[in-house]
Amino acid sequence: MDSTPSSSTEHHKRLEYCTTRLPYRQGRELKAVKVYTVASESKHLLVFGVPKIQLQGNLKNKLQQFGKLLSCICITQEMVKKIELEAFTDVFAVKFDRLEVARRAKRQMDAKQFFGGILHISYAPERETLQELREKLTQRRSEVSYRLSRNLIESKEKVVPCDTFKRVY
């Protein structure tokens, strides 16, 4: 993998909306096609497109509506070196206490208007510590095993033993 600064930030660029889906597959809103793996989702988010008019408090208040917010810091100077930013906007690094909260915040706020700017929110797994990555993967394993056990129980409940049916000839 290339070690240039741009290669580590490629996943933060906004994708174009997909306009080639069949009409029956197209939802009410156009969406960019993006698949997230367990490793690419994160409690850490980067919020691009916040107008540069001292909105950190307002952004914090908006994000706290989704759940417990651990931090919200302006990293515009750090990001200017790595990626081309829209003029007169700030970038904020946000950390939530749970992945589900970050997912919901990203889904609800991405591509929405905020004080005259359009927000772009992306996951920032590169800001995770090794311990956070371990916790995320452990949590995912437990979720999958729980769902498998629930599916197994439900499938056993639906199976009707053959001897309960009477044969009619």
Are 48 and 121 a contacting pair, CB within 8 Å? Answer: yes
Name the CA dihedral angle for 105, 111, 114, 119, rounded to a multiple of 10 degrees.
80
**Helix, strand, or coil (residue 62):** helix
Please state the pTM of the whole predicted model.
0.71
Q: Can you tell me the distance from the alpha carbon of 95 to that of 161, in angstroms, rounded to the nearest whole number?
A: 51
| In the chain, % of residues over pLDDT 70 | 73
**Tens digits of residue pLDDT in 30-69:** 666 566 788 889 999 999 999 999 999 999 999 999 999 9
State the DSSP code for 166. P
**Helix, strand, or coil (residue 36):** coil
**Tens digits of residue pLDDT in 143-167:** 999 999 999 888 877 655 555 555 5
pLDDT at 77 over 70: yes
Q: What's the gap between Cα 124 and its chain centre?
A: 9
Residue 143's Cβ-side half-sphere holds a number of Cα atoms within 13 Å equal to 9
Are 50 and 9 a contacting pair, CB within 8 Å? Answer: no
Overall fold of domain 5-127: Alpha-Beta Plaits (3.30.70)
Burial of 93 (0-12, 13-18, 19+ CB in 10 A): middle
**Helix, strand, or coil (residue 97):** coil
**Helix, strand, or coil (residue 168):** coil
Q: Can you tell me the distance from the alpha carbon of 39 to that of 36, in angstroms, rounded to the nearest whole number?
A: 8
Are 121 and 46 a contacting pair, CB within 8 Å? Answer: yes
Domains of the chain, residue spans: 5-127, 128-158
